[in-house]
C-alpha cells in the first residue's frame, strides 16, 4: 500500500511543464482523455497529467493504438525529471481501483436486487477488464485573478462554485478521488485557505452540497456510463470545484488525484431488459442539471457503444 508521503511527494514534484505535456499530447482526439483535457483548457485554471496506472502499454496492436490513441497509447513517464512519480502514481492508482472494486460489488448487488435482468457483477467486470483506466494528477493554479472575498460565505452563485472546474458529470463508469491538498508558492503543504473552496456536488433534490472528506479517506462518484448500464438505478453525480479566494488564498494551489474507471470502447451502452430509456435518463433533464452539463439524452441512445458515447460527449462539451 502506498504511504501518504509517497503520494504527497509525487503530487508536489509535478512541474507545470510536465502537466501540460500530456494535455498537449492528447488534445484533438475524441476520447476520454481529451474530454477532460478540453475542460482543463476551457477553464485555464487547471493543468493535469494522465497515465494508465495499471498498464504501461495496454494494447500492442498498432492498428488499435492508431484508431483509439488515447484509450490505448502507452504511458510516458518523466523518469529523469521526477523519478519517484511512476511508482507513487501506480500504487495510489491501484489502491483507488481496489477500493472502487469493493464498492462496485455492492453497487452490482443493489442494482441486481431491483433489476433481475442486470448482468451479474457488470460494474465489477468493467473495473476488472477495463484496460483503458486513466488516472489524472490535477493541479489547480492559484486563483489570484478571481475576485477575492475575505468573507468566504458572502456570496454564492454557480459561477463562483465552478471557478476552478465547472459543473459536469464524469462520463465513465466510476471515478475515485483522494483528498485535495493545498500548497503555498514554495510547495509547502498548508491548510485549505478558504472554507468554501473545494468539491461540490448537486444532490438528487437539486441541493448544493460541499463534498469534503478526510485526508485518509477516498471518495467515489458515479459516472454516466454506469447510470446507463444500471438503467438509471444509480445516477451520475454532477460536481464542480470552487476556487479558494480571499487574501489567505493568494498564491495557494490545489492538488489532487483522480482515477477514471471505464469500459473498453466497444462496450455496449445498453440498459437492463425491462427498464426503459426513460428510466436510464432519470434525473438528467435540464431542470435537474446545473448550467453547462449537456443532457445525457442528447448524447446517448440505445445501440451505441462506449466509444461512440465518448465522442458524442466530447462534442457536446466542446460546444458548451
Ligand atoms: Fe469530474
Only one residue has cell 483507488, namely 96
Quick: pLDDT tens for 186-220: 999 999 999 888 999 988 877 889 999 999 999 99
Dihedral sign of CA atoms 25, 222, 105, 119 in order? negative
36: which 3 cell numbers? Answer: 477532460
Using the mean position of ligand 1's atoms as its centre, give its distance from the Cα of residue 143 in Å: 19
Domain at 4-319, CATH class: mainly beta
- For the ranges 129-133, 158-162, 293-297, the one whose mean pLDDT is highest: 129-133
Residue 291 — very low, low, confident or very high, per pLDDT cuts 50/70/90? low
Quick: pLDDT tens for 71-104: 888 999 999 999 999 999 999 999 999 999 999 9
Hey, which residues does 208 pair with through a beta bridge? Answer: 202
Using the mean position of ligand 1's atoms as its centre, give its distance from the Cα of residue 171 in Å: 8
Q: Check residue 23 and give its pLDDT.
A: 35
Using the mean position of ligand 1's atoms as its centre, give its distance from the Cα of residue 237 in Å: 9
Residue 284 near residue 295, CB atoms below 8 Å: yes
Reported pTM: 0.82
Dihedral sign of CA atoms 157, 158, 164, 170 in order? positive
For the chain, give percent helix, strand, coil, nearest 5: 35, 15, 45
Residue 41 — very low, low, confident or very high, per pLDDT cuts 50/70/90? very low
Residue 100 near residue 176, CB atoms below 8 Å: yes
Using the mean position of ligand 1's atoms as its centre, give its distance from the Cα of residue 170 in Å: 5
Using the mean position of ligand 1's atoms as its centre, give its distance from the Cα of residue 46 in Å: 12
CA 315 to chain centre: 18
Using the mean position of ligand 1's atoms as its centre, give its distance from the Cα of residue 177 in Å: 10
Amino acid at each position: 500500500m502506498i504511504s501518504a508521503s509517497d503520494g504527497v511527494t509525487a503530487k508536489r514534484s509535478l512541474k507545470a511543464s510536465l502537466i501540460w505535456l500530456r494535455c498537449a499530447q492528447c488534445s484533438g482526439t475524441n476520447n476520454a482523455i481529451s474530454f477532460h483535457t478540453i475542460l482543463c483548457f476551457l477553464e485555464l485554471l487547471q493543468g493535469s497529467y494522465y497515465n494508465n496506472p495499471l498498464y504501461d502499454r495496454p494494447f500492442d496492436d498498432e492498428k488499435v493504438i492508431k484508431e483509439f490513441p488515447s484509450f490505448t497509447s502507452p504511458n510516458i513517464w518523466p523518469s529523469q525529471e521526477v523519478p519517484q512519480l511512476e511508482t507513487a502514481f501506480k500504487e495510489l492508482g491501484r489502491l483507488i481501483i481496489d477500493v472502487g472494486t469493493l464498492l462496485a460489488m455492492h453497487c452490482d448487488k443493489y442494482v441486481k436486487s431491483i433489476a433481475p435482468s442486470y448482468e451479474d457483477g457488470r460494474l465489477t467486470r468493467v473495473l476488472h477488464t477495463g484496460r483503458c483506466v486513466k488516472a489524472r494528477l490535477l493541479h489547480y493554479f492559484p486563483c489570484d485573478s478571481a475576485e477575492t472575498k475575505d468573507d468566504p460565505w458572502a456570496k454564492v452563485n454557480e459561477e463562483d462554485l465552478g471557478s476552478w472546474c465547472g459543473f459536469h458529470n464524469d462520463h465513465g463508469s466510476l471515478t475515485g478521488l483522494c483528498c485535495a491538498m493545498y500548497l503555498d508558492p514554495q510547495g509547502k503543504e498548508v491548510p485549505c485557505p478558504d472554507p468554501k473552496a473545494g468539491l461540490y456536488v448537486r444532490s438528487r433534490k437539486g441541493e448544493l452540497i460541499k463534498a469534503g472528506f478526510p485526508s485518509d479517506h477516498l471518495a467515489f462518484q458515479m459516472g454516466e456510463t454506469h447510470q446507463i448500464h444500471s438503467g438509471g438505478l444509480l445516477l451520475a453525480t454532477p460536481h464542480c470545484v470552487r476556487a479558494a479566494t480571499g487574501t489567505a488564498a493568494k498564491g495557494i494551489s490545489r492538488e489532487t488525484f483522480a482515477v477514471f474507471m471505464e469500459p473498453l470502447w466497444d462496450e455496449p451502452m445498453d440498459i437492463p431488459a425491462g427498464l426503459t430509456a426513460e428510466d436510464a435518463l432519470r434525473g438528467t433533464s435540464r431542470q435537474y442539471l446545473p448550467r453547462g452539463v449537456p443532457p445525457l439524452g442528447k448524447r446517448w441512445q440505445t445501440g451505441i457503444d462506449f466509444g461512440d458515447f465518448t465522442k458524442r460527449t466530447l462534442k457536446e462539451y466542446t460546444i458548451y
